Amino acid sequence: MSAMGRPDDRQTVFTRVEGGWIAFVLPYLVAAAWFWLLPTHHALGTSLAIMVLFALSVEVVLGFGGINTLGQAVVFGGGAYAAGLAAIHLGFTDPFAMLAAGAAGGAAIALLTGALVLRGGELTVLAMTLVAAAIFYELTNTFSSITGGFDGLRGIRVQPVFGLFRFDLWQSTAFVFCTGVVLVCHLLVRILVTSPFGVMMRGLRANPGRMAAFGAPVMARLLLVYTVGGALGGLAGALQTITTRYVSGEVFAFHVSATVVVVMILGGFGRIYGAFMGAAAYVVFQDYFAKLAPQYWFFWLGLLLVVVVIAAPGGLVGLIDMARARLGRLRR
């Protein structure tokens, strides 16, 4: 009987890119425990959830699509401004309407910039994504009557979630709201990466030239992947605006893009849970060391990065894979 003939083997013909449903619900069990056990750390949990979503957007673009980006702040900032502008100038103060504006803003900016930056080679794309973020940073200053300029957009009003749950000072509502958005996006990304589109994305990452020989319009596909990642990044930006009720040109700054790349290096590229683990490691590490050594915490972050790159090139997810493999060998 052929290998494909056995029902058990039918699943293995597709590379497993994700963990099971236990792995899926684990982050939300942790979030629930965090909510009940760490009531004074809901603001930190909110930051973590936003970072996870932002990292998921990079995961789609870089980890799965193979598009080198150092300017993902452009979609994060685009989403943040779209949500803020929609609230101030159009009166869209419902958090879900602001989310929709953020996703549309991030996707539109990704489509616009991607059509230009994706035409280059790998290093050119890297540099162009950086430039695109810098241009948008300057645009926020140039069109200060709309964007608030250096002072940013202030006085953003946000309605309670479902008209019931107000965004409070302790960010408890924000924490739950952001975690809920992450859960929905996580589910969508999970569906995406196991779909035909996801298999195609892995092909694009591995060898775009070969995908062209399969008849795939590579440029259009890369643009689509970049736009999907842009929508997710825009959602993360919108969450930032909704939870802080403020947005300034800083959302387009280089350190925003650099931070999320650091998160992905910590967590591991090409795996959804790299975004979760990298964001958790970064946010918790930053919180702890910024309190311990406010002036030198970047040193400790650098040290952590060096250790991860040397000891676990696949990031924290890679480390877990290694541990599981070793455990499997021991059992045998």
The distance of closest approach from Cβ of residue 216 to other proteins in the complex, given in angstroms and rounded to an integer, is 5
Angle of CA points 99, 284, 95, to nearest 5° = 15
Residue 235, interface with other proteins (CB under 8 A)? no
79-87, 117-125, 132-140, 199-207 -> range binding other proteins (CB under 8 A): 199-207
The smaller minimum CB distance to other proteins, of residues 183 and 216, is found at 216
Question: CB under 8 Å to 140, separation ≥6 — which residues?
Answer: 77, 81, 147, 148, 149, 248, 249, 252
Residue 122, interface with other proteins (CB under 8 A)? no
The smaller minimum CB distance to other proteins, of residues 65 and 95, is found at 65
Angle of CA points 234, 225, 264, to nearest 5° = 65
User: Position 175: which residue type?
Assistant: F
33-41, 85-93, 134-142, 214-222 -> range binding other proteins (CB under 8 A): 214-222
Q: Which of 91, 217, 302, 313 binds other proteins (CB under 8 A)?
A: 217
User: Position 73: which residue type?
Assistant: A
Per DSSP, what are the bridge partners of residue 165? Answer: 161
Q: Which of 30, 112, 216, 258 binds other proteins (CB under 8 A)?
A: 216
**If we measure between CA atoms, which residue out of 10, 29, 15 comes closest to residue 199?**
15
Q: Which of 49, 104, 174, 211 binds other proteins (CB under 8 A)?
A: 211
Residue 119, interface with other proteins (CB under 8 A)? no
Hey, what's the torsion of the CAs at 270, 275, 276, 279, to 10 degrees? 150
Q: List the helix and strand counts (H, then E) for the chain.
A: 15, 0
The distance of closest approach from Cβ of residue 112 to other proteins in the complex, given in angstroms and rounded to an integer, is 21
Residue 191, interface with other proteins (CB under 8 A)? yes
The distance of closest approach from Cβ of residue 189 to other proteins in the complex, given in angstroms and rounded to an integer, is 10
User: Position 127: which residue type?
Assistant: A
The smaller minimum CB distance to other proteins, of residues 60 and 87, is found at 60
What stretch of H or E contains 171?
Answer: none
Residue 295, interface with other proteins (CB under 8 A)? no
Site residues for other proteins per CB under 8 A: 2-4, 9-15, 191-192, 194-200, 202-203, 206-207, 209-218, 221, 224
